[in-house]
Structure 1
Amino acid sequence: MLTRFPALDALLTELVGTARDILGNTFVGAYIQGSFALGGGDEHSDCDFIIATTVLPSGRAEADLRRLHDEIPTRTGPWTSELEGSYADIASLRSVADMGVPWLFNNHGHRELTWDTHCNNPHARWILRNRGITMAGPPVTDLVDEVPPEALRDEARAALPTIMSDLRTWAPFDIAWTQRYAVATYCRTLYTLDTAEVAYKRQAMEWARDHLDPRWRPLLTQAIEDRALGWDPAAPPRPGSMAETYAFAAYAEASGTVGR
C-alpha cells in the first residue's frame, strides 16, 4: 500500500500508469511527497506527488497531461480533487541551485495545469529527498541532492513576516479552517527554523505546544483538536480564536529564531 486509503492508492496507481504512457521514454519515476510522505496524511489532506522526467513535458505530451488533469477532478470519489504535484525534469530536480525553475504543476482541485515553482523549493525538496515514497522508478535519493540546513532555515525565516498576508490572498478569514491553517503554518515554520527539517501540521503543532511559551498551549490544543473537523465553509472560527491567532502570529514573527 502507498497510503492507508485504498481509493487514493488506486487513483495514484492509475495516474502513474497513464502519465508513464503519455511521457513514454521521458518518464523516469513517480514519488509521493508532502504530508503523506511525512506520515501525517489523513482524510483532510491533499496528496502531493512528483513525476520525474528526462525533459520538461512539451508538445503532445504536455497537451495529453493537461487533458488528463482536466478530466480527473470530474470523477466521483473522495480524492479526485485532492491530487497536487508537478512534472519535474531530472536536471532541475537534482540540485538546490535549480530551485525556482518552474515545473508543470497541478494545484489540487484545479483542472488546468500551470507552469509554477510551487513544488520546487527547499521544504518540498527536503520532504522528497528524506521522506519521499517511491511509486515507480529509482530511489528518490538517486535523483535529488541533500538540502543544506541553511537553505531550509533561510526559506522559513523569509516566509515568517508574510505568512498572514499571503494567506489572505487565497483563504477566507471568516471560517474556522483558515484559523487552524494559520496556526499550523506558523508552527511548521518555527519547527523548520529550529530543526532544519520539515514536519506535517499536527506534528509541528504538538512540537510547538511542548517547546514554545506555555501561554500558547490553549490555542495550540484547540487547533490540534479541531483539525478533525476538516473543511467547512459555514463554520466560523471559535470565539476569540482569531484574536489569539493574530497574537500568536506576532509572537512567532518576533521570535523567529526560537531554539537557535
Structure 2
Amino acid sequence: MFTPYRELDALLDEFVHAVHGILGDTFVGAYLQGSFASGAGDLHSDCDFIVATTVLPARATEAELRRLHDEIPTRPGFWTKHLEGSYADTTSLRAVAGLGTPWLFCDHGHRELIWDAHCNSPHTRWILRNHGITLAGPPVTDLVDAVPPQALRESMREMLPGLMEDLRTWARFDVAWSQRYAVTTYCRALFTLHTGEVASKRDALEWARETLDPRWRPLLTQVIQDRELGWDPADPPRPGSLEAMYAFGAYAESFAS
C-alpha cells in the first residue's frame, strides 16, 4: 500500500507500468512526493509524483507521455483527475545546481503536459529526499542530494513579497477555498523560514497557531476546521475572512526582510 486509498494505489500501479513501458531504458524510478509522502494526503489532496529518467523525454517518448496524460483523466474514478507531477532527468534532479530546470509537468488534473519548473523547487526536493515514497526504482536518497536549510529559507524570502500578487493571477478570492489556500501557503513559508524544513499544510497551520502572535489563532482555527469543505466554486468566504487573510499576508510578508 502506497496510500490510504485502494483506488489510488491501483492507478499508481498502472501508471508506473505504463510510464516504464514508454520510457524504456531511460526509466530510473517513480516516487510520491507532496502530501501523500509527508503522511498528510487525503481526499482534498492531489497526488504528487516524480518520475526520474536518465534524460529528459523528447520526440516520440514525449509524444507517448502526452498521449498517456491526455487519456488518464478520461477514465472513470476519482483519482484519475488528481495526479500532478514531473519527469525529471537525474542530472538536474541530483543537486541544488539543477534547481529551476524545466521538466515535463502534469498540472493537477490537466490533460496537457507543459515544460515547467513547478516541481523543481527546494521545498519539493526536501519532501522528496526526506519523505519520498518509492513506487519503483532505487531509494530516492540515491538520486537526490540533501537540500541545505539556507536554500529553503532563501527561496521563501524570495517568494513571500510577491505571494499575494501571484495568487491573484490564478485564484478567485470570491471562493472560500482560495482564502484557506492563501493562509496555508503563508504558514508553510513561515514554518520553513523558522525551521529550514518543510511541513505539510495541516502541520504548518498547527505550528503557526501555536507559535505565531495569538491574534491569528481565530483565523488559523477557521482555516483548519474548514479544510474538510474542499473545493466548491459556489462557496463564498466567511464574513470577514478575506480581510483577515490580507492582514495575515501582510504580517507574514514582513518576515521576508
How far the C-alpha of 1:81 sits from its partner, in A, is 1.2
Distance 1:158 1:228 in 2: 31
Other-structure match for 2:148: 148
**Are the equivalent residues in 1 in contact too, given 2:158–2:256 (CA < 8 A)?**
no
- TM-score calculated relative to the size of structure 2: 0.99
Amino acid at match of 1:143: L
Does residue 164 of structure 2 align to residue 164 of structure 1? Answer: yes
Deviation (angstroms), 1:75: 1.3
**Deviations 1:155-193 (CA, angstroms, capped at 9, x unpaired):** 011111111111111111101000000000000000000
What's the CA shift string for 1:35-91, capped at 9, x where partnerless?
111111110000100000011111211110000000001112111111000001111
Q: Structure 2 matches for 1:85-124, cutoff 5 A? A: 85-124=85-124
Q: RMSD of the alignment, in Å?
A: 0.8
Supply the AA of the counterpart residue of 1:185: T
Map Cα deviations across residues 175-224 of structure 1 (whole Å, 9 max, x no partner): 10000000000000000000111111111000000000000000000000
For 2:255 and 2:171, the matched residues in 1 are separated by: 25
TM-score after normalising by structure 1: 0.98
- The structure-2 alpha-carbon separation of the partners of 1:196 and 1:187, relative to structure 1 and needing over 3 Å to count, comes to same
Segments of 4+ moved more than 2 angstroms? none
1:232 is matched with 232
User: Which stretch of the first structure deviates more once superposed, 57-66 or 218-227?
Assistant: 57-66
Structure 1: gaps spanning 5 or more residues? none
More deviation in 104-113 or 219-228? 104-113
Specify the SS of the correspondent of 1:38. coil
Distance 2:59 2:252 in 1: 46
CA contact (8 A) 2:8 2:79 kept: yes
1:213 aligns with 2:209: no
Query: How far apart, in 2, do the equivalents of 1:254 and 1:95 lie?
Result: 30
Instruction: Kindly indicate whether residue 163 of structure 2 is the aligned counterpart of residue 184 of structure 1.
Output: no
What one-letter code is carried by the residue in structure 2 that aligns with 1:151?
A
> Residue 126 of structure 2 aligns with which residue?
126
Number of aligned residue pairs: 257
Q: Which residue of 2 aligns with 1:70?
A: 70
